[in-house]
């Protein structure tokens, strides 16, 4: 069960995922620290994020993944370390693991940068498979070093997939209103949600994978499109891309389009997030453990775009 609240360090806090984790940690009452580069202060976007952190009472520590001394020093302040670093820095998390070991045995939990599909149970191909392989390698290092861990799997991000109806168009900021591309037959289901970090101090989640799978948010692409059509009172023109076509298109596409297509293939064609059963031996489901948490449903999320 839950214990006394830990002090939390977030590494990568000014990134897309990190800023939500830092904010959620601070607002949930944890004494929160964010490790940021000093150069972030001069960046107009990241500088504003850091100022927001300070307004929430977050302690700002300066350092870098390549500066082991700054990592060790930062880790000595806390009980839990959460990494939210991006794709280009995934393998640099080995430095975090090393710093955790060097700082002593006081760290109660490390949450490496996951927050997507379960990389140990994936059928992804191409660039998505390569990304997942790096995350899996970090898992193996964590386990080999005996670092206490929790892997958090929240599957699809609303802002990436739901806000665009899973269209591989980086310029889209809201769901399309005229045409939509459906991958495969559109019936494979994915999982979409926002959730707070309730698992960091829960002994039931120690050395386990936490899956954030609230029932209302387990939906197929067809279901999301139909829901959006009902909200705008219009039927979208649909183009179906077969698996064969998609498999041909992935290696022919430039980056990051190839990665987006490969993710869509894994999630919406192969059902990468729903093909397996969560067994107690390796995982727990968050909405069952924390039924009091109010999450944003797919239906509610789409309302902001109507």
Instruction: Return the active site residues.
Output: 135
pLDDT at 191: 47
Q: Give the model confidence (pLDDT) of 199-248 as tens digits.
A: 888 999 999 999 988 888 899 999 999 999 999 999 999 999 999 999 99
Which pair of structure tokens corresponds to residue 219? 């939906």
Strands (E), the chain: 8-11, 32-36, 59-62, 80-83, 109-111, 150-153, 179-183, 189-191, 208-211, 218-220, 237-241, 283-285
Q: How buried is residue 160: exposed, middle or buried, by Cβ count under 10 Å (0-12/13-18/19+)?
A: middle
Please give the full DSSP string across 130-146, using - where no structure is assigned: HHHHHHHHHHHHHHHTT
pLDDT at 3: 58
pLDDT at 196: 47
pLDDT at 195: 53
> Left, alpha or beta for 104 (phi > 0: left; psi -120 to 50: alpha)?
left
Which residue positions in the chain have pLDDT lower than 70? 1-3, 169-170, 190-197
Quote the pTM value: 0.92
Q: Give the model confidence (pLDDT) of 135-164 as tens digits.
A: 999 999 999 999 999 999 988 877 778 889
pLDDT at 190: 58
């Amino acid at each position: 069960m839950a214990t006394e609240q830990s002090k939390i360090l977030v590494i990568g806090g000014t990134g897309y995922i990190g800023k939500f984790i830092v904010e959620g940690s601070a607002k949930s009452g944890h004494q929160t620290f964010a490790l940021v580069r000093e150069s972030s202060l001069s960046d107009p976007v990241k500088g504003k994020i850091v100022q927001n952190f300070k307004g929430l009472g977050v302690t700002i520590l300066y350092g870098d993944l390549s500066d082991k001394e700054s990592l060790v020093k930062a880790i000595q302040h806390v009980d839990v370390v959460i990494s939210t670093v991006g794709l280009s820095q995934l393998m640099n998390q080995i430095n975090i693991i090393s710093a955790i070991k060097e700082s002593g045995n006081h760290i109660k939990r490390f949450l490496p940068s996951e927050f997507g599909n379960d990389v140990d149970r994936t059928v992804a191909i191409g660039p998505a498979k390569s990304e997942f392989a790096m995350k899996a390698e970090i898992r193996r290092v964590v386990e080999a070093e005996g670092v206490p861990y929790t892997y958090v799997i929240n599957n699809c991000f609303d802002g990436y997939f739901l806000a665009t109806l899973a269209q591989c168009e980086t310029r889209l900021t809201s769901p399309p209103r005229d045409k939509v591309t459906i991958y495969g037959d559109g019936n494979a289901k994915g999982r979409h949600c926002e959730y707070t970090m309730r698992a960091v101090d829960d002994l039931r989640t120690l050395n386990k994978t936490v899956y954030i799978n609230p029932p209302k948010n387990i939906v197929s692409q067809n279901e999301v499109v139909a829901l959006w059509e009902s909200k705008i009172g219009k039927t979208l023109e649909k183009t179906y891309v077969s698996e064969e076509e998609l498999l041909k298109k992935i290696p022919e596409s430039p980056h990051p389009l190839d990665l987006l297509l490969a993710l869509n293939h894994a999630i919406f064609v192969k059902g990468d997030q729903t093909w397996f059963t969560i067994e107690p031996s390796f995982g727990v489901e968050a909405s069952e453990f924390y039924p009091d948490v109010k999450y944003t449903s797919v239906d509610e999320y789409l309302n902001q775009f109507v």
